[in-house]
Chains A and B, each alone.
Chain A
Amino acid sequence: MSVSVFSFLKRPMLMGGVALAMLVSPSGVKADTSQSVTPLSMEMVAPGVYVHVGVHEDPSPGNQGDISNIGFVIGTSGVAVIDSGDNPALGHRLRAAIQGVTDLPILYVINTHMHPDHVLGNVAFRGDDPEYIGHARLAAALADRESFYLNALKSQLGATPAAGAEIIPPTRIVDIGAPVEIDLGGRVLVLTAYPTAHTDNDLTVLDQLTGTLWAGDLIFIERIPSLDGSLLGWIKVLHGLRTLKVARVIPGHGPASADWPQATFAATRYLETLAGDIRAILDRNGSLKEAALSAGQGEKENWVLFEEYNGGNATAGYVELEWE
């Protein structure tokens, strides 16, 4: 069966009213009495689509690594987690939030990319025996960075919150150019893998039923984009995404949901400004150091954490564009 990405537009009431009511009603509340895990606060941005909003900070003992947007989608037969948070404790809190809303099994844990704030909560769901799904390049990217990420978690949060953290690679992959559909019962999620952009393993999740696009870190709002893939690749992917006809987007960092395609504009402008500045520096044989200190500075007032990330973005962009 092949379902168009946009089929939700034609068939907005794919599911029956009863099923839909089940999704949105908290009547199935089931308290987790086995341990005292505080459920994460969730915002329902569309029927059955729940998002927890992280703060715009780097991981610290103060924020417990709660720095990214993570959440879940509920169908009539099960639940898909989309990004699991920065550490096992956060994953357990997300799981507790799911259990507060539904008794249905957690069938899938989907990771939008390799960064620790999106994958290190995976281990909290191991007991559910879900399929872990990610980009075809996710496993290699994680293997490459495993020890670095686990050490970074320890130094950021301390040994106790980092305890039990481990890398869980995907058990099922999505190839570029071959989107995968998963059925949660009454709603289909379309998983799409991208060429190198924010990272070399970015993946989006489209909930066809509500027209909600989980963009992962392909979209940053308020918090400065961090470049860990390809500057030109990311700009290209953003221009492609912009043409999608969706109702709303859930960015990896930013508000719980945002209007489309306006949500793409700020990140696109930032990355294009950075690329333009770097090309000008390269044209006059300017140095990497100069680019790190000056490229993108016109965007300074537009982003949270600008000082922390712009220099790294400029560095990564320079070493990419010098091969143009």
Chain B
Amino acid sequence: MFSNGLNFRWAGAVVASLMLSFFAVSPALAVPEGEEESWTTNLKDLYFEGVTLEDGSELISMDTPYRAMDPAVVPLMIKFSKPQAPDSYIKKVTLIIDENPAPVGGVFHLTPEVGDASLTTRIRINEYTYVRVIAETSDGKHYMIKNFVKASGGCAAPGLKDRETAMARLGKMKMKFVDAGVGGAPGSAQLMVSHPNYSGLQLDQVKGMMIPSYFVNSIVISRGDKELMSIEGDISLSENPSVLFHFTGEGVGELNAVVKDSEGGVFKKSWPIPPRVDG
């Protein structure tokens, strides 16, 4: 009955020697607010070499909690002050979490079809960090804003809470129509994907093997045959990735999502758009 004992000793040794977790490299001391060394000496040139990043505070606003309540699920809302016009729109939004081992939280490619580039998602934050939103406009300019977020206290880690449920539900999707749009304004909807989306060391209990990283790396959302937005994801997005986005469109139709993960999994689903509430 306890023949697993040896396997577990072995697995423990493997775990101790590998230390491969993406969340393994954090220093003991938290980065204080005002300290941007990771960005200035490393990340800026890594992701935006030679690019002038203008102050984005008039175009973009970001809502994050000052202290993350649950480091595995930190809500992040990005709002834009201008609507998406066919000739002037937000083309690309890059989310950078300076002190995360995988700093790029996501890259969102947007079209004028969304009507409003504002979006809400959820990220992992395992230590004090700046979170940056860099928006590229259709005229090729880049704008940046940043927020400082403190990690939570206590013993909550940014890992999976209920791996088995996440795996049992793997690839299931829900589309929640939050706002059908009033008086011609864009509607909004939240796409939810059930996926562990994690790279931490995970032990296969039966085989005693380490499970490699496993995350959603692509989400494409379209209305009918018109692409609204696509997302390049990574492990800094929370378990069960969620994105609230906007969409335009007259009359009936459907929203489609195609999700791909790092192991080659492809998940597709469509939802009819509910009637608009005009007036």
User: Which residues of A are at the interface with B, using a C-beta cutoff of 8 A?
Assistant: 58, 115-117, 136-137, 139-141, 143-149, 151-152, 154-155, 159, 166-173, 178, 196, 199-200, 226, 228-230, 233, 285, 287-289, 292, 308-309, 311-312, 314-316, 319-320, 322-323
Contact = CB atoms under 8 A, between A and B. Distances in A.
A144 B12 contact: no
A144 B8 contact: no
The binding surface of chain A is classed by DSSP as helix
Contacts of B118: none
Given A139-B8, A170-B8, A226-B154, 8 more contacts: A140-B202, A148-B159, A149-B157, A167-B12, A169-B12, A285-B176, A288-B122, A315-B70
Query: Which 3 residue pairs are nearest across A and B when measured between Cβ atoms?
Result: A311-B69, A147-B24, A140-B203
A144 B157 contact: yes
Contact of B154 (A196, A230, A309, A316): A309
B161 A58 contact: no
B202 A196 contact: no
A156 to B, nearest CB: 8
B30 interface: yes
B170 to A, nearest CB: 12
B201 interface: yes
Interface residues of B, number: 61
Interface string B18-39: 0101011111111000000000
Nearest to B26: A151
Contacts of B202: 140, 143-144
A148 B158 contact: yes
Contacts of A200: 161-164
Interface in B120-174: 120, 122, 126-127, 152-165, 169, 174
Interface of B: 1-2, 4-5, 8-9, 11-12, 15-16, 19, 21, 23-30, 63, 65, 69-70, 72-73, 75, 77, 120, 122, 126-127, 152-165, 169, 174, 176, 178, 192, 194, 200-203, 205, 238-240, 242
A172 to B, nearest CB: 5
B28 A323 contact: no
A74 B249 CA distance: 71
B228 to A, nearest CB: 20
Contact of A285 (B12, B152, B178, B205): B178
